[in-house]
Amino acid sequence: MGERRTPSGIEVQAVYGPGFPPGWDPARRVGRPGEPPYTRGIYPDMYRGRLWTMHQYAGFGTAEATNRRFKFLLEAGQTGLSCAFDLPTQMGYDSDHPRAEGEVGKVGVAIDSIEDMRVLLDGLPLDRVTTSMTINATAAILLLLYELVAEERGFDPARLGGTIQNDILKEYVARGTYIYPPRASMRLVTDTFAYCAEHLPSWNTISISGYHIREAGSTAVQEVAFTLANGIAYVEAALAAGLDVDDFAPRLSFFWNAHNNLFEEVAKYRAARRMWARIMAERFGARDERSKRLRFHTQTGGSTLTAQQPEVNVVRTTVQAMAAVLGGTQSLHTNSFDEALGLPTERAAKLALRTQQVIAHESGLTDTADPLGGSWYVEALTDEVEARASAYLDRIGEMGGAVAAIEAGFMQEEIEQAAYSYAQAVEDGEVVVVGVNRYVEEAPEAPEVFPLDPALQDAQRKRVGELRASRDQERVNTALADVAAAARGSANLLVPMKEALRLRATLGEVSDVLREAFGVYQPAR
Query: Taking the model in full, what pTM does it have?
Result: 0.91
pLDDT at 380: 93
The partner residues of 24 in beta bridges, in order of sequence, read none
> What confidence tens digit (pLDDT) does each residue in 359-398 have?
999 999 999 999 999 999 999 999 999 999 999 999 999 9
Model confidence at 21: pLDDT above 80: no
144 contacts 497 by C-beta, under 8 angstroms: yes
Axis crossing angle, helix 494-502 with helix 473-488, rounded to the nearest 10 = 170
Phi, psi dihedrals of residue 407, rounded to the nearest 5°:
-60, -30
pLDDT at 447: 67
HSE, side-chain direction, 13 A CA sphere, residue 393: 22
Strands 80-84 and 53-58, by their bridges, are: parallel
- Alpha-carbon distance 227 to 212, whole Å? 10
Pick the CATH number of 40-81+112-428 from 3.30.930.10, 3.90.580.10, 3.20.20.240, 3.40.190.10: 3.20.20.240
- Alpha-carbon distance 491 to 185, whole Å? 15
Q: Mean pLDDT in the chain?
A: 93
- Alpha-carbon distance 64 to 456, whole Å? 11
Model confidence at 504: pLDDT above 60: yes
> What confidence tens digit (pLDDT) does each residue in 331-341 have?
999 999 999 98
> Cα 491 to the chain's mean position, in Å?
28
pLDDT at 428: 95
366 contacts 325 by C-beta, under 8 angstroms: yes
pLDDT at 445: 66
> What confidence tens digit (pLDDT) does each residue in 303-320 have?
999 999 999 999 999 999
Q: What is the residue-wise DSSP string for 169-223?
A: HHIIIII----S-HHHHHHHHHHHHHHHHHH-TTEE-EEEESHHHHHTT--HHHH
Strands 4-5 and 162-164, by their bridges, are: unpaired
For the residues 8-13, what does the mean pLDDT come to?
Answer: 91
Nearest CA-CA partner of 513 in 140, 172, 106: 140
Model confidence at 1: pLDDT above 60: no
Q: Which amino acid is at 362?
A: E
Tell me how far apart the terminal alpha carbons of the chain are, to the nearest angstrom. Answer: 44
Extents of the domains making up the chain: 40-81+112-428, 456-518
Q: How confident is the model at residue 58 (pLDDT cuts 50, 70, 90)?
A: confident
pLDDT at 450: 65
- Alpha-carbon distance 272 to 299, whole Å? 16
